[in-house]
Chain A
Amino acid sequence: MGQSHVKEFTKGIFKENPTFIIMLGLCPTLGVTTQVVNAIGMGAGVLFVLLFSNIFISLLKNIIPSSVRIPSYIVIIASFVTIVELVMHAFAPSIFEALGVYLPLIVVNCIILGRAEAFANKNTVIDSILDALGMGIGFTLALLLIAALREGLGAGTWTLFAIGSFDGVVEIPILNQYPLRIMTLAAGALLLMGFLKAFFNWKTARNKG
């Protein structure tokens, strides 16, 4: 794997992180990050759709006429989202219920359409796969960070998957007795996003300087 391939993969995780740097897909980001388990489910869903839509759009880039490229991308993306919905409903119903309306809304997630238009329709399949993996993992890590802070501070818990006798809820001492309820509400999400954006801006500026 050449250095340029490595760069295509890593750029989505740090340098061009879709949430903190490019600031795409903020609506589902703020909507689902009330619990850690939702962040994992949403991240996995977006990663899957992004990966397969990038592969198919890159493969079909010379076949799809330019004048109808956006409707074509939407059909491809919507198909993969529906596949994720059906599979989650059948095999992971609790995550399906928790993600609610945000799952079908992956269709209009700006990250996916953005990567299709800005990257997959101009690059090779291999580069598109690496771009999708990097962006998908970057998005998932961003969701995990926001959800861990919001749920940890707002409810004093981290909700993960229930396995056997473990109900999936990790209680955080002290914080679960004095939760900052606002963090789980929409206002808390915006506040936290502001602080995290400021942190990433500071870090980017420091790296440049």
Chain B
Amino acid sequence: MRQYFKVGITLALICAVAATALAFVNHVTKEKIATYEESVVLDAYSEVSAGFTVGELIVPTDEMVSEYHPLTDSSGNVSGYIVMLNANGYGGEMTIMASYGIDGEVLGAKLLGNSETPGLGKKAESKTYMEKFVGTGSVGPIPVKKSELSKADAESIGGATVTFSGIAKALAYGSDYVKNLGVK
């Protein structure tokens, strides 16, 4: 009995010291981490908002759209939406922030949370990757297959076809979603 008690106390002491050390490191780093996380979202908003003002957050009940914000011009008219889309890539779930005009035209997009392969699917995080979708979704359809891309754009997706397909399908869904929203 005494032996079990000694073992239990030793293990509890090790855990207590570890928890204290972690609490200290968390205290030192938490503000810096919170600032970084906030800056990632703010950067994404300013990158995709296309010069419009980002309105209030609206949370719909849709599997692929987790939230959206109306975009308003200088006179306060709704000119489009920023939509947070859930997509599936090679490494699992991906989160995409995309902005659309009222007519469903892609104004800008940014890949946020993802577990894509570094050097392949991860390239979708770059600014230039999303340029192939900008301007589509209204007059011309959003390209969802590699064959629908120009040669240079097809080369830019490299060996990451699954990532491209996941992003393209999510963007196309977002475009349709925004068309249905219209001006609310």
Binding site for B on A (CB under 8 A): 32, 34-35, 38, 60, 63-65, 67-68, 71-72, 75-76, 78-79, 82-83, 86-87, 89-91, 93, 98, 100-101, 151, 154-155, 159, 181, 184-185
Contact = CB atoms under 8 A, between A and B. Distances in A.
Contact of B22 (A60, A79, A98, A159): A79
Interface residues of B, number: 24
Contacts of B7: 65, 67-68
25 contacts: A32-B118, A34-B118, A35-B119, A65-B10, A68-B11, A72-B11, A79-B18, A79-B22, A82-B22, A83-B21, A89-B29, A90-B28, A90-B36, A91-B32, A93-B36, A98-B118, A100-B115, A101-B115, A151-B119, A155-B119, A159-B119, A181-B158, A184-B117, A185-B120, A185-B159
B26 interface: yes
B184 interface: no
A93 B37 CA distance: 9
B6 interface: yes
A168 B179 CA distance: 41
Contacts of A89: 29, 33, 36
B1 interface: no
B22 A83 contact: yes
B123 to A, nearest CB: 10
Contacts of B159: 181, 184-185
B25 interface: yes
A154 B15 contact: no
A85 to B, nearest CB: 9
A78 B117 CA distance: 25
Contact of B25 (A71, A75, A87, A185): A87
Nearest to B34: A90
Given A34-B120, A75-B15, 14 more contacts: A32-B118, A34-B119, A35-B118, A60-B14, A68-B10, A72-B10, A75-B14, A79-B22, A89-B33, A90-B33, A91-B29, A184-B120, A185-B120, A185-B159
B10 A64 contact: yes
A34 B32 CA distance: 28
Interface centre among A83, A90, A93, A151 (most CB of B within 10 A): A90
Contacts of A151: 119
Contacts of B11: 68, 71-72, 75
Contacts of B117: 34, 184-185
B125 to A, nearest CB: 9
Nearest to B32: A90
Contact of B26 (A34, A63, A64, A86): A86
Contacts of B158: 181
Contacts of A67: 7
A139 to B, nearest CB: 19
Contacts of A185: 117, 120, 159
Interface centre among A68, A79, A87, A181 (most CB of B within 10 A): A79
Interface in B2-55: 6-7, 10-11, 14-15, 18, 21-22, 25-26, 28-29, 32-33, 36
